[in-house]
A and B are shown apart, each in its own frame.
Chain A
């Protein structure tokens, strides 16, 4: 294959990687931004979403589209319920203390992982894409579903942006993010906002998992990579900045996709990790984060 088709393929793969990354990092960024909680179990919420999607798709094996739609509803609900229980039973009881929540969510990460291993087993579980349309370029064919994932991610990101910037609930979330005590002094029930944000973060990553599991397969250890990449994106974009996270995800995803096609995925991961180290040295708060006071 000559250079241009190779580049086109690399850009397409990069766009898919960017969309994937933006969606998985979004929930982590939202939770950190509003609650100042580093949710180390975020990747396990992703894995749980993928497992639920697989399980629901098994209920209607002859109808992948129906299974996909069921998963789009069921996975965020199931993962959101786990997140709600986590917020009420664990995070709230330790007062959202930054250090304690890291330790608690590390414990939760192992707990969910081992539960998934016990319930679903260690095998990778394929899930059929809801449709198998193939876009035919003169040089190669490309999965229409992958481009659908890019479009769906863009729609979801726009929805989150709209909620955050244009709705009453978005204003409440931003106010809680800026100053919890003053928010309380204006009648905002901070505890309930935290619950809603934690559930929303988990539901978003569960939707990401439903979209991506036909490309990746479900496996009980699949949460680790998205967690690592989400942290990279959130650190580069700026802790707590949704805009920064999305921009960083697009940049790293595109770069990673292109490098993966021309060189290797391992080389792409090395570049991303080096980039984080570099950013932490020259701009510890990330590109769009506020400097520590």
Chain B
């Protein structure tokens, strides 16, 4: 479904990704682990076309994303929840959802499904997004991305700053999406929050993927987590 082939990305002259490669199958949940500045967020932005790729290719369902304009990428069915949520905080919940729905002209059924997944948003449609709690804002960021009806969902630290109850809700919704065939890439610092739901883990160091392993293998090799994330 997604094949990231040896991409190089730069911020100005600083190289952020070196020969970064990754493969995902449909319905898989892959977690990118690594220390701050390792290149995890840049990798997600490169897939979204928000950071130019100088070398390599990113093939999604047979289409090379590096050949498309940035705004065409989400229209293929790639949803993105950026780090820090990046909601349109002056707009209402309803308008934030409309932005997601407009991307692929998703219908009322998609909106209905999203509101069933996060019922609290249905009660707050007229509220300004910036006035909601952190957990509710994260739900809205997820919901906005789901309004695209994504085939691939990119989540950048979705549990950052959330309460355990809210983390559990976010995890449940990711698992529920998997049952609908949605493929997910998760960037996380909180290993404990994602390992129970991830299928595989890719370790990122200095802008490249240094190891990929199944979660079951990882359980027997905890020093990998210490090495790459610094958390046990």
Contacts and interface: CB of A to CB of B under 8 A. Distances in A.
B74 A187 contact: yes
A181 B71 contact: no
Interface in B95-130: 95, 98-100, 102-104
A184 interface: yes
A100 interface: no
B158 interface: no
B103 A186 contact: yes
Contacts of B74: 185-187
Contacts of B103: 186-187
Contacts of B88: 174-175, 178-179, 182
Nearest to A181: B50
Interface residues of A, number: 17
Interface in A179-200: 179, 181-190
A93 interface: no
B120 to A, nearest CB: 22
A171 B144 CA distance: 15
Interface in B46-92: 48-50, 69-75, 80, 82, 86, 88-91
A187 B90 contact: no
A293 interface: no
A171 B71 contact: no
B50 A178 contact: no
Given A182-B86, A186-B100, A175 B91 contact: yes
29 contacts: A171-B95, A171-B98, A171-B102, A172-B102, A174-B88, A175-B91, A175-B99, A178-B88, A178-B90, A179-B88, A181-B50, A181-B82, A182-B86, A183-B99, A184-B50, A184-B70, A185-B50, A185-B73, A185-B82, A186-B99, A186-B102, A186-B103, A186-B148, A187-B75, A187-B102, A187-B104, A188-B71, A189-B71, A190-B71
